[in-house]
Structure 1
Amino acid sequence: MRITCIGGGPAGLYFAVLAKLADPAHEITVLERNPAGVTYGWGVVFWDDLLDDLFRYDPVSAERISRAACRWDEYEVRATGKAVTHLAGYGFSLGRRDLLDILAARAVELGVEIRYRDELTELTEAGAADLVVACDGARSRVRDQHAEHFGAEIEVGRNKYIWLGTSHVFDTFTFGFEQTPAGWIWYHAYPFTADTSTFIVECAPETWAGLGLDSLDAKQGCARLQEIFAAHLGGQPLVDHRAEVGGTGWLNYRRLTNQRWDHGNVVLMGDAAHTTHFAIGSGTKLAMQDAMALADAVSGDDDLAVALERYEHRRKTALAPLQRAAKASSEWFERVPDYVDLPAKQFSYALSNRRGEYPTWRYLLHVATQSAGPRTLLRWALSTRRWHRARRRPGLAAASTAVSRPREPARLTAS
């Protein structure tokens, strides 16, 4: 089969890897409009469920991703006028560029052709492909060429947000809320290398305008935000990639869904097919799981139309609960002023339970683990669970991953 992937993000590269593993005879080309090694993202986050899937599908790339990732062992919540509180849980983060480099290297090893600086504008330019995979992002040009057929629907969120980076390395995943004369503004921050953290800032549009952020360019906006979050940044700067090209990166979140995901031999994948709010940190995970499902679907003996229909049904079913959770999460952040007067422990629990899923005992556990002793025990228990889960992963021994027994968990470690 001749396959062309339009877009060299995690979805396209990982699908190329899996399709080649399923059948080395496939002729697979990935077209990426950016130069090699260039990406405009910062760090991505994921959890054990994605690692489980990655080791199941390709232990080689999974081991490389696992080794390159950072791990945090809890969540920290800071807010003006409140004591610092903590939320149980752990996760992993990895630079987007590092992830793309790992996946691209693996694809090339398997015989995939990657063409950089190749910005396809018409589907006819994809050549005589049997399958064209449109994984060119939320503003997909391929999807837009058949917009009426795919039936894209976009719901625009109220809040303003911007993805930034900083050389201040946070100890763990941190939420920080600052009260200003124009209203509340907050960030989601997490480390993803030894010297860099992602720093996502969000606020209501009234606050955004009241702080003058609507009239500042990238450098000026970063300087204003550095003043607001000075107590959180340890004297380190904030960086907006767009500072070098003009403009600014402020956006409103766009929740994208499509009525249909395939059109003839063209199929949507990743953000071209769906988006979920960044507050649940699942964009990369869902894109790579799309790749897994599509690779499974096309590896059988069914006609392509049947395979693509099966892929769409499988992924829409899996996405539905996460999309509901993401919507509830984004709406919670649009109502931040309704919660900020709560005492510190109640406020952080409301943040943790923004999807409304937790039983009462979770609140009791949250309160009990705000002191150092119980919190340390809980982190150790989670570290032990993580170790046992990692040991059960398929292909772990073949990938030569060294997994040591859990000790007292560090605040930030390499995975």
Structure 2
Amino acid sequence: MRVKVACVGGGPAGLYLSILLKRQDPSHDITVHERDPEGSTYGWGVTYWRGLLDKLHVHDPESARAIEGASVTWNEGEARVRDLVTRRASDEGFGIGRHRLLEILAARARSLGVRLEFEHEITPGSLPAADLVVAGDGVRSALRTGHADHFGAETEEGRNRYIWLGTSKVFDAFTFAFVETDHGWIWCYGYAFSPERSTIVVECAPRTWTGLGLDSADEAEGLALLEKLFSDILEGHPLMGRSAGSGGAQWLTFRTLTNRTWHRDNLVLLGDAAHTTHYSVGAGTTLALEDAIALADALHAHGELPQALARYERQRKSELLSVQSAARYSAQWYENLPRYIGLPPEQMFALLGQRHSPLLPYVPPQLYYRLDKAAGQLEALRRFKRWLGPKVARSVHARELASRK
């Protein structure tokens, strides 16, 4: 059945949903409305992991190949605490420039017949006539806010301050750096998103932020101070910011958003308009694209819109529970950094990797490390025994055959 869909917001979620719906039925009438000019997206690079890429290959191989081809990869993590450096193997990670990702998705959507209308702002009072209106207009969604009582949005503001920056230093591993100052610790993590650029997210407690004067510094002064603090990992490369126009650097506190319900009549929330998870788990883009996949599948499976939107909401709320929990504990780990920063580097890095654990805040860090290491050794032994079992059985079987000859 031919339907008319208006996607409000030209981010990854809205664009990918338009692609999936057009692939399901080319007769669907789909328009993506974006208030900003084309190519004016904010941000540097985004991260994702192999699991998302596998899903993209299933649902639209053409855009998946383009995204993978434009991405850089890493399979190691590095942590620097003062002058100590620890590096270890990690799951394969991917980075891609946000601008490049949107270019790929926009080109693919256009090739399938989706209309893209830039510099076209949609408000609750000017909704386009459509069978389905998708609010993919971000964490401050105007369409959601227009029905605030219905959606029941709640936000929880984090304690720490952070800023999202770029650099010409290209990291060959996902890199963490923790620097001690007279006003407390400040830290960053960086990852490449192209052969020429990396993203760096810098974070610190409020006391450190004000003590270092970052609260009052203009963008140039702030970047110069951060370049000095993180000179070991930058190796002479500059940091690049995104000026807000007033000359002030864009330091933020993260807002975790949840909604009581995700749909109202023919209006449905998607991506950051529906939910956010702390940036330290690197899942924002992945979750937005997974929202699009789930919504497209639900619309395909159900002929009636209310049933389709209800299925989409149930599925995604259920799937998000574990990610949202991990994100909350990850944010708390950084807010309680002094609890872990004095550990030996290998222990601190191990617990950095375990920061999503709901047990870690309640178990003494060194005890948790020993228990986790013991559990890992037991699992390694179990894997070895499983691997060894068939080989022993084949050896015994071979000796039995030889003895019969």
Please state which band the TM-score falls in when normalised by the shorter chain.
0.7 to 0.9
Q: In 2, Cα distance between the equivalents of 1:141 and 1:294?
A: 20
Asked if 2 retains the 8 angstrom alpha-carbon contact of 1:87 and 1:348, the reply is no
**Residue 116 of structure 1 aligns with which residue?**
118
The Cα of 1:245 is off from its aligned counterpart by 5.3
CA distance in 2, matches of 1:246, 1:28: 39
Larger Cα-atom Rg: 2
Given the superposition, is the C-alpha separation of residues 13 and 178 from structure 1 closer, same or farther in structure 2, using an over 3 Å criterion?
same
| Partner residue, 1:363 | 373
- How far apart in 1 are the matches of 2:149 and 2:75? 45
Question: Residue 276 of structure 1 contacts residue 326 of structure 1 at CA under 8 Å; is this kept in 2?
Answer: yes
In the alignment, does 2:156 pair up with 1:155? yes
Q: Structure 1's 24 and 105: CA in aligned 2 closer, same or farther, altered over 3 A?
A: same
TM-score, normalised to structure 1, is 0.85
Change (3 A) 1:318 1:161: same
Question: Unaligned regions of 5+ residues in structure 1, if any?
Answer: 368-415
TM-score (norm 2): 0.87
Give the CA deviation at 1:362: 6.0
Q: Counterparts in 2 of 1:98-247, with a 5 A limit? A: 98-120=100-122, 122-242=123-243, 246-247=247-248
Deviation at 1:88, TM superposition (A): 2.6
* AA of the residue aligned to 1:16: S
In the alignment, the residues of structure 1 paired with residue 36 and residue 284 of structure 2 have an alpha-carbon distance, to the nearest angstrom, of 20
> What's the offset of the Cα at 1:81?
3.9
1:11-410 correspondence to structure 2 within 5 Å: 11-120=13-122, 122-242=123-243, 246-356=247-357, 363=373
Specify whether residues 327 and 22 from structure 1 end up closer, same or farther in structure 2 by C-alpha distance, changes over 3 A only: same
Structure 1 residue 138 displacement after superposition: 0.6
Distance 2:21 2:71 in 1: 25
8 A contact 2:50–2:92 mirrored in 1: no
- Considering Cα pairs closer than 8 Å and 6+ residues apart, tell me whether 1 or 2 has the greater RCO: 1
Deviations 1:198-227 (A, max 9, x none): 000001010001000010122221111111
Flag as ranges the 4+ runs of structure 1 deviating above 4 A. Answer: 357-362, 364-367
Distance 2:244 2:174 in 1: 26
- In structure 1, distance between residues paired with 2:373 and 2:131: 53
Aligned to 2:394: none
Report how many residues are paired.
366
Q: Name the amino acid aligned to 1:27.
A: D
Report deviation, 1:359.
9.6
Native 8 Å contact 2:350 2:369 kept in 1: no
- Matched-pair contact (CA < 8 Å) for 1:218–1:243: no
Equivalent position amino acid for 2:373 in 1: Y
Q: Offset at 1:366?
A: 8.8
For residues 42-87 of structure 1, what are the alpha-carbon distances to aligned partners after superposition, in whole Å with 9 as ceiling and x for unaligned? 1010001101110111111011111111000111111114233335
* Structure 2 CA distance for partners of 1:279 and 1:17, relative to 1, 3 Å: same
Q: Is the 8 A contact 1:85 1:344 kept in 2?
A: no
The answer to whether the 8 Å contact 2:85/2:345 transfers is yes
CA gap 1:94/1:361 in 2 versus in 1, 3 angstroms: farther
Question: Structure 2: how far apart are the matches of 1:180 and 1:15?
Answer: 46
Percent identity between the aligned chains? 50
* 2: CA distance, partners of 1:319 / 1:69: 25
Unaligned runs of 5+ in 2: 359-367, 378-405
Tell me how far apart the structure 2 counterparts of residues 101 and 192 of structure 1 sit (CA, whole Å).
15
- Could you tell me how far apart the structure 2 residues matched to 1:124 and 1:62 are? 36
Specify the SS of the correspondent of 2:46.
strand
| Alpha-carbon shift at residue 36 of structure 1 (Å) | 1.1
Structure 1 residue 232: deviation in Å?
1.4
Q: Which amino acid aligns with 1:91?
A: G
Where 1:83 maps in the other structure, the secondary structure is: strand
